Structure 1
Amino acid sequence: PPSARRLLAEHGLELGAVAGSGPGGQVRKEDVVRALERPAEARGPAPAPAPAPKDGATARERVVAMTSLRRTVARRLVEAQHTAAILTTFNEIDMSRVLAVRERHGEAFLAKHGVKLGFMSFFVKAAVDGLRAFPAVNAEVRGTDIVYKDHYDIGVAVGGGKGLVVPIVRDADALSFADVEKKIGELAKKARDNRITMDDLAGGTFTISNGGIYGSLLSTPILNPPQSGILGLHKIEKRAVVEGDAIVARPMMYVALSYDHRIVDGREAVQFLIAVKNAIEDPERLLLEI
């Protein structure tokens, strides 16, 4: 109001030096009078009024810019859903025999190789066997062509300091179980230390994502373009299953394969997942490469 402006001018005060109590923070004459009654050293510039919340927002929000990594991940996930015909098929795996192998040989494996025998080496090897049998899952669409990959560079999703990244275990078919575990451990440490490079992330042919370490029971993973397949692993949970005529408790894991239906038929996707299941439920076949 004019009366407030005149009073401000008479005492050499700026409008921003007085906090307003009127509608929308408007400065009234009584606001100026109260400000003049305060000691001069206490009159500093009044804090700017908080902007009115928009679209239902409240003052209890924080706005944080996306990191470049998060922006890239977001862009690629949206790109995958816009360009690929993504479909997911599910199965479940009895983990009893893998757990038994780890129990029997875990200490000797660690003593000899200096790394623990984890689940991921079994699944990487099982995935390679499945990809050999069903090469479309290891292929990609490039323009109007299908590019079949005769190498097996398996991306393994790991949590890093700046978010989820998918470094590549290259030529996984040529690596031993110990080599796979060492490589995954090395890449996971680089991710935690924010030392992952573009070379570590580029060129994968297939991805494995283990949501089970975070407690996920079931999910539908999204493709990592331009790949045509991603295998989602989940937590191991004891469940009642039927064996013959008996109901028994077994450590079971749900698995999911999301695939690009443009080049991978449903039959191939289901059979690939069954191949992984069979390999994990009979791990000696992987160890003997039969």
Structure 2
Amino acid sequence: MAEIIVPELAESITEGTIAQWVKKPGDKVEKGEFIVELETDKVNAEIISEEAGILKEILAEEGDTVLVGAVIAIVEAGDAAATPTPTPTPTPAVEEAAPAPAVEAPKAAPAPVVVEESSSTERVIASPAARKLAREKGIDLASVSPVDPQGRVRVQDVAAHGTAPAAPAAKPAEAPKAATPAVDESRVTVEKMSRRRQTIATRLLDVKQSTAMLTTFNEIDMTNVMALRSRKKDQFQEKHDGTRLGFMSFFTKAVVAALKKYPYVNAQIVGNEIHLNNFYDVGVAVSTDDGLVVPVVRDCDRKNFAEIEDAIGGLAKKARDKKLQIADLQGGSFTITNGGVFGSLMSTPIMNGTQAAILGMHTIQKRPIAVGDEVQIRPMMYVALSYDHRIIDGKDSVGFLKTVKELLENPEDLLLES
């Protein structure tokens, strides 16, 4: 018999959500076979069975939150039978009833109470972990007020119920229940936030609240970059086995050159210290159906244009296919995000994690600008640098963005810099 355990994926990941069971109780399982998909705040992980046999029991349902190290299923060695399905059903019933006599022991008629609590508990939708904790604490699940708008009781709800005073705790929780019927389903669609979306929301809010974030703007005349790209793109693609020459490699190279000139933009605060990074691992924001992810292109100072384009293309594909690994997302020192692909003319990007700055690219728009004493129509792009004012002074932020502008307006200088 083997236990399927939530593996340790990364130091920062302590829990996940069961996204999908590929196997069901009674199914045959091969050693190394993918049986369940776990959604974390960073990546989706495929959990495999370490033993061949029959999936005897599933201990966590789809949508349940499970901690790293938790047992979520049992695989029984051999080809034996598909009788495990009915077995789990009576087990929780007996276990659920067991704490009740202990709590109700002083009362005169314990038997009816046991039956009443058991049926009440069975009506409650709860995760296995929540049921287990409720049994350990002697808490009737029916008295626990869930945060989940769908009414599922999770382990966090049971823990909160156990630490709060019994009488007052049940009353404040009445409000969410009363609010639910007020939603007019013909006018409002209620959609539960995914774990990744919850994490994105939490982290962006943390950045806003824990940093002194400011944004400075500039605009870049893209004429020369576009002309160079137009002249060289076919030759570039032929020389580098089909790799296309995009704008991201130009921006990445310009950012690296500017980071070398303004090292505090490539830093982070750790406690009371400023850590100046001597590496140039640039995160590139990628939009997916599940939300924004920021895979990291390593050692951009050592990569040529083709290697950067290949790395960005490969990471973007992995993100869309949900194949990113934890290592793909860790350790970036600076981030570039391109709202221009969606038509954004100007925005104030929010910094990524503990990084000190982020560069926002925007759509290229033809505008009349002064060139010498003449007005010409030029392809222009607004760029924005959001930065942590605790580390970066205005002089450095403006200088950094001006350097990026100058290099992109004179791409030959950019080639010399790289």
TM-score range, shorter chain: 0.7 to 0.9
Q: Deviations over 1:213-233 (max 9, x none)?
A: 000000000011200000000
Match status 1:75 vs 2:206: no
Structure 1 residue 112 displacement after superposition: 1.1
From 184, 205, 210, the equivalent of 1:58 is 184
Q: Secondary structure at the match of 2:350?
A: coil
Between the aligned partners of 1:205 and 1:180, the Cα distance in structure 2 is 16
**Which residue is equivalent to 2:324?**
196
Alpha-carbon contact 2:257-2:417 (below 8 Å) kept: no
What secondary structure is seen at the aligned counterpart in 2 of 1:76?
helix
**Equivalent residue for 2:414?**
286
Identity %: 53
Distance 1:169 1:244, change over 3 A: same
Give the Cα separation in 2 of the matches to 1:56 and 1:234: 41
Is the radius of gyration larger for structure 1 or structure 2?
1
Question: Partner of 1:24 in structure 2?
Answer: none
Q: So what's the TM-score if we normalise by structure 1?
A: 0.80
Q: Take 1:277 and 1:70, find their aligned partners in 2: how far apart are those partners?
A: 33
Structure 1 residue 52, shift from structure 2 partner: 7.7
User: The residue matched to 1:159 in structure 2 has which SS?
Assistant: strand
Pairwise CA RMSD: 1.5
- The CA deviation at 1:271 is 0.3
Q: Deviations over 1:157-194 (max 9, x none)?
A: 01123221100001000000000000000000001101
For residue 287 of structure 1, report the CA deviation from its aligned partner.
Answer: 1.4
Query: C-alpha separation between the residues in 1 aligned to 2:268 and 2:181?
Result: 42
Change (3 A) 1:73 1:246: same
- Give the Cα–Cα distance (whole angstroms) in 2 for the partners of residues 232 and 173 of structure 1: 20
The structure with the largest helix share of the pair is 1
1:224-245 residue CA offsets vs partner (Å, 9 max, x unmatched): 1200000000000000000111
Which residue among 192, 206, 229 is the counterpart of 1:102?
A: 229
Give the number of aligned pairs. Answer: 240
What is the CA-CA distance between 1:55 and the residue it aligns to?
10
Q: For 2:274, give the aligned amino acid.
A: I
Residue in 1 that maps onto 2:8: none
Q: What TM-score do the two structures reach when normalised by structure 2?
A: 0.56
Contact 1:160 / 1:193 at 8 angstroms: preserved in 2?
no
SS of alignment partner, residue 382 of structure 2: strand
Structure 2: give runs of 5+ residues left out of the alignment: 1-176
Q: Which amino acid aligns with 1:84?
A: T
The structural deviation recorded for 1:66 is 1.6
Runs of 4+ deviating beyond 6 Å:
none
Partner of 1:22: none
Task: Between the two structures, name the one with larger relative contact order (CA 8 Å, sep ≥ 6).
Answer: 1
- Are 2:289 and 1:161 aligned? yes
Q: Deviations over 1:36-95 (max 9, x none)?
A: xxxxxxxxxxxxxxx986697432222222222112211110110111100000000000
Q: What is the distance in 1 between the residues matched to 2:183 and 2:414? A: 54
Q: 1:289 Cα deviation (Å)?
A: 2.3
Extract unaligned runs of 5+ from structure 1: 1-50
Partner of 2:271: 143
Q: Does 1:89 align with 2:216?
A: yes
1:23-42 residue pairs with structure 2 within 5 A?
Answer: none
Taking the aligned partners of 2:291 and 2:209, their CA distance within structure 1 comes to 23
Q: Determine the structure 1 residue equivalent to 2:384.
A: 256
User: Are the equivalent residues in 2 in contact too, given 1:231–1:258 (CA < 8 A)?
Assistant: yes
| Structure-1 residue corresponding to 2:359 | 231
Distance 2:183 2:221 in 1: 47
* 2:250 counterpart (122, 139, 147): 122
